[in-house]
């Protein structure tokens, strides 16, 4: 018991005693996806309306307004008014109230039928602002001019005051413009970037002609067709990216002179407030040397490197520059350089003015500023890694104050002046609560509270607990007991695992971060256990990077400490342990089973990485380097080398057109099983990519549940 002494155990009953008599309903698999009433209520399209404390949301096809000074909620207008306005200009009516964005207190914009409209509340009139083709993708609406950037196939266009302008006209399918690059790593979510006033458009141009084609098969046509994708595997050639700047007036493009080598990562594009410069976080392919470079937006010339960051393991930029309203020559930068993600204040000459936040906790995001730009609101883990709290930091004094005083996981919507916050949060006792607080954290009013949408259901007890890794590190866990739990009985256990970077499964949020499928399994008589091992997110650089060059080693060791804890419980049947996971969790599932033969009777792995040499360049090389640089690490991580240890039941589930963990992984594992005479079960979801979504997810849940029911 030496390595799993509990530091603390927070046990909470999912429902108050007064509800026990009403807890008779059972969760049904078919309802986990389709029954919205099982999930916490939410306010659709909730946002601040203006600077007078008004906020709005959409419910029952009506736009409803609230105000911080009154509990009264007023209906501004219904869908009928929208349709009357559209009909008046001979436009197609909408079937449900569209998502809106406020321009001012009397006008808002909305999109419908590939057009952008303005609605004037006072006049009850709809007017067209702009339009784009029906087949347009990656639409990016500029909020000042309402010009719209979009892509069709691999080329970029702008609808400029209603007229289509061709920005690129590349014929080669290997050239991709205006789309996300570097496989969405480094915080990259899109490929176009309007300048602050909307006068210029920066965009990514990606040349992937040198990248290997990877074959995927589309079974939808009468005769199946080959649909090849570009998939750069670890150690192989990657795509080349450049950044263009387009001027809609001159209709000319210049490219930033980002230089060599071509195989580098151009991340986190940021415009200067005056539109004269563009800043790029340039990362080398080894991902251990970052430069913040400044370029002239007019001629593309390189101006200077503001500063650099180096780390023997890796540097991972995920945010651009946050320029200050109070001084456009100063900005905030998020970095893990001291071991935790913190804010640093720089000027545009690259001088570090000061480190703004510090400590053994993580700044997770910059949420907004006050009116003058003297204070910044952040979400962070200062109190505990299990919470996501909101703080306000005085940029001049570095004083930090906790704004959200109720423990839990908070998501803020901050008004333009930084005076008020719509705080949407949950914790283990409250499913979702939406309230208004001021910048000091004082509660102003509750907009909506859904304390427990499952109060009529007979769910088990959930425990949040901490155990120790072998080196003494705290590892946070969640344990769900069967709803008819009897401490004198023995129960089988299903361990759900992810275990990789960028994910945290155990949080102080509704159900402890668990999903309803886990609670369904507990209802069927299983103990369901989850741990965030070293290598997972929000615990600092050392914690997350501990797996560097050795994926599948330390994480498995930590998970086995969890297994040792489970075996110490009198009510656990240690002969009936199962493990389940997807993606990195699938890799972990098979790793745990093969590296600990005889421990896990059953395992189910979805979209598992089998050998990291078949995984993509950006993610794979960050954590494992290349196969040439780290042959021993790749050998130790390859699950093909442990197939001879396979005992018991194993089900592998694979998306038939998985473009993230390509089918070669699971197919190669099957081939090795055949070679060694090992039996394994396999199921493909033919038309799904890396995960199973939509209504088919019910089928997935049933597949997993039935497998455990039959074999565990």
Give pLDDT tens digits for 451-486.
999 999 999 999 999 999 999 999 999 999 999 999
What's 616's DSSP letter? Answer: B
Given the residues 195, 509, 583, 666, the one annotated as active site: 583
Q: What is the pLDDT of residues 373-390, one digit of tens each?
A: 999 999 999 999 999 999
Residue 274, pLDDT > 70, answer yes
Strands, DSSP E only, in 94-194? 100-104, 107-112, 115-120, 125-131, 137-141, 148-152, 155-160, 163-166, 175-177, 192-194
CATH C-level class of 9-39+455-711 = alpha beta
642 burial via Cβ count (<10 Å: 0-12, 13-18, 19+):
middle
Compute the C-alpha angle 267/380/550, nearest 5°. Answer: 60
Distances (CA, A) of 54 to 193, 416, 436: 30, 12, 11
Own/partner long-range contacts of 295-300 (Cβ < 8 Å, ≥24 apart): 295/256, 295/257, 295/258, 297/195, 297/200, 297/202, 297/245, 297/271, 297/272, 298/254, 299/254, 300/245, 300/254, 300/255, 300/256, 300/257
pLDDT of residue 648: 98
List the CATH code of the domain at 42-130.
2.40.10
Question: Is 685 a residue whose pLDDT tops 50?
Answer: yes
pLDDT tops 50 at residue 310? yes
Biggest CA pair distance of the chain:
79
- Rounded Cα distance between 655 and 663, Å, is 7
Q: What is the pLDDT of residue 24?
A: 84
Q: Say whether 690 is catalytic.
A: yes
Q: Give the pLDDT score at 12.
A: 40
How many other C-beta atoms can be found within 10 angstroms of the C-beta atom of residue 144?
11
pLDDT digits (tens, 9 = 90+) for 141-188: 999 999 999 999 999 999 999 899 999 999 999 999 999 999 999 999
Nearest to 306 by CA among 335, 282, 338, 287: 282
Cα–Cα distance, 416 to 409 (Å, whole number): 23
User: Does pLDDT of 8 surpass 90?
Assistant: no
Q: Which residues contact 23 (CB under 8 A, 6 or more apart)?
A: 15, 455, 456, 457, 458, 459
Helix, strand, coil shares of the chain, percent, nearest 5, are 15, 35, 45
Distance, CA of 507 to CA of 427 (rounded, Å): 8
- State the average pLDDT over residues 638-660: 98
Share of the chain above pLDDT 90, in %: 96
Domain residue limits, the chain: 9-39+455-711, 42-130, 361-452
pLDDT at residue number 19: 37
pLDDT computed for residue 15 by the predictor: 37
d(CA 314, CA 548): 9
For residues 646 and 649, give the distance between their C-alpha atoms in angstroms, rounded to a whole number: 9
**457 with 493: CB under 8 angstroms?**
no
Give the active site residue among 389, 423, 625, 658: 658
CA separation for the pair 506, 678 (Å, rounded): 35
The per-residue pLDDT for 372 is 94
Q: Residue for token digits 């001879």?
A: 644
Work out the mean pLDDT of the chain and round it to a whole number: 96
Tokens of 96: 């449900």
Query: Is residue 226 pLDDT above 70, yes or no?
Result: yes
Among residues 51, 109, 4, 26, the alpha carbon closest in space to that of 482 is found at 26
Neighbours of 709 (CB within 10 A): 13
Same topology, domains 9-39+455-711 and 42-130? Answer is no
Q: Give the confidence band of 22 by pLDDT, cuts at 50, 70, 90.
A: low
Contact in structure between 331 and 322 (CB atoms under 8 Å): yes
Quick check: helix, strand or coil at residue 119?
strand
pLDDT surpasses 80 at 522: yes
Which among 100, 116, 190 has a CA at the least distance from the CA of 151? 190
The order of strands in the sheet holding 302-310 is: 264-271, 277-284, 289-296, 302-310
Sheet with 342-347, strands from edge to edge, namely 322-323, 330-335, 342-347, 352-355
The arithmetic mean of pLDDT across residues 25-36, rounded, is 96
Among 3, 502, 690, 699, the active-site one is 690
């Amino acid at each position: 018991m030496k390595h799993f002494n509990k530091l603390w155990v927070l046990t909470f009953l999912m429902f108050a005693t007064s509800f026990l008599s009403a807890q008779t309903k059972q969760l049904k698999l078919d309802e986990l996806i389709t029954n919205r009433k099982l999930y916490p209520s939410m306010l659709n399209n909730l946002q601040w309306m203006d600077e007078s404390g008004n906020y709005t949301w959409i419910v029952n096809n009506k736009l409803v307004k609230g105000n911080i000074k009154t509990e009264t909620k007023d209906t501004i207008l219904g869908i009928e008014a929208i349709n009357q306005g559209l009909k008046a200009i001979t436009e197609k009516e909408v079937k449900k109230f569209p998502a809106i964005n406020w321009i001012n207190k009397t006008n808002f914009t909305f999109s419908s039928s590939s057009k952008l409209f303005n609605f004037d509340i006072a006049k009850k009139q709809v007017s067209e602002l702009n339009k784009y083709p029906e087949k347009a993708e990656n639409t990016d609406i500029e909020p000042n001019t309402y010009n719209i950037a979009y892509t069709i196939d691999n080329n970029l266009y702008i609808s400029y005051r209603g007229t289509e302008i061709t920005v690129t006209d590349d014929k080669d399918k290997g050239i991709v413009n205006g789309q996300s690059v570097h496989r969405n790593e480094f915080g990259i979510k899109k490929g176009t970037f309007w300048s602050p006033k909307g006068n210029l458009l920066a965009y990514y141009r990606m040349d992937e002609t040198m990248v290997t084609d990877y074959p995927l098969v589309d079974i939808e046509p009468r005769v199946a067709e080959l649909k090849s994708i570009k998939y750069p595997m670890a150690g192989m050639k990657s795509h080349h990216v450049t950044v263009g700047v387009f001027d809609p007036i001159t209709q000319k493009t210049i490219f930033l002179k980002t230089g060599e080598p071509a195989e580098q990562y151009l991340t986190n594009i940021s415009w200067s407030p005056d539109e004269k410069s563009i800043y790029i976080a340039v990362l080398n392919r080894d991902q251990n040397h970052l430069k913040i470079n400044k370029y002239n937006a007019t001629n593309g010339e390189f101006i200077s490197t503001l500063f650099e960051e180096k780390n023997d393991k890796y540097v991972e930029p995920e945010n651009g520059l946050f320029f200050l309203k109070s001084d456009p020559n100063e900005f905030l930068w998020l970095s893990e350089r001291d071991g935790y993600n913190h804010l640093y204040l720089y000027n545009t000459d690259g001088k570090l003015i000061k480190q703004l936040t510090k400590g053994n906790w993580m700044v997770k995001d910059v949420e907004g500023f006050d009116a003058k730009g003297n204070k910044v609101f952040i979400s962070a883990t200062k109190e505990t890694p299990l919470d996501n709290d909101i703080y306000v930091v005085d940029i001049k004094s570095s004083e930090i104050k906790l704004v959200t005083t109720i423990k839990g996981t908070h998501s803020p919507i901050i008004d333009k002046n930084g005076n008020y916050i719509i705080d949407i949060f949950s914790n283990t006792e409250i499913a979702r609560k939406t309230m208004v607080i001021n910048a000091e954290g004082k509660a102003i009013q509750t907009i909506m509270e859904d304390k427990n949408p499952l109060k009529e259901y007979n769910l088990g007890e959930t425990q949040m607990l901490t155990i120790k890794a072998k080196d003494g590190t705290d590892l946070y866990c969640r344990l769900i007991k069967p709803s008819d739990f009897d401490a004198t009985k023995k129960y089988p256990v299903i361990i759900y695992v992810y275990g990789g970077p960028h994910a945290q499964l155990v949080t102080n949020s509704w159900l402890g971060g668990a999903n309803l499928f886990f609670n369904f399994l507990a209802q069927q008589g299983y103990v369901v256990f989850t741990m965030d091992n070293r290598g997972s997110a929000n615990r600092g650089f050392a914690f997350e990077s501990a797996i560097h060059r050795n994926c599948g080693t330390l994480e498995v060791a930590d998970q086995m400490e969890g297994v040792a804890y489970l075996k110490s419980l009198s009510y656990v049947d240690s002969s009936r342990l199962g493990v389940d996971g997807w993606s990195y969790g699938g890799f972990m599932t098979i790793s745990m089973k093969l590296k600990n033969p005889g421990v896990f009777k059953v395992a189910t792995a979805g979209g598992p990485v089998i050998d990291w040499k078949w995984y993509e360049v950006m993610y794979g090389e960050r954590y494992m380097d290349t196969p040439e640089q780290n042959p021993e690490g790749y050998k130790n991580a390859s699950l093909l080398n442990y197939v001879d240890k396979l005992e018991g039941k194993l089900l592998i589930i694979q998306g038939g057109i998985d473009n993230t963990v390509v089918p070669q992984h699971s197919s190669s594992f099957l081939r090795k099983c055949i070679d060694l005479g090992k039996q394994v079960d396999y199921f493909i979801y033919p038309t799904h990519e890396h995960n199973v979504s939509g209504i088919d997810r019910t089928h997935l849940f049933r597949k997993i549940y039935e497998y455990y029911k039959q074999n565990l």
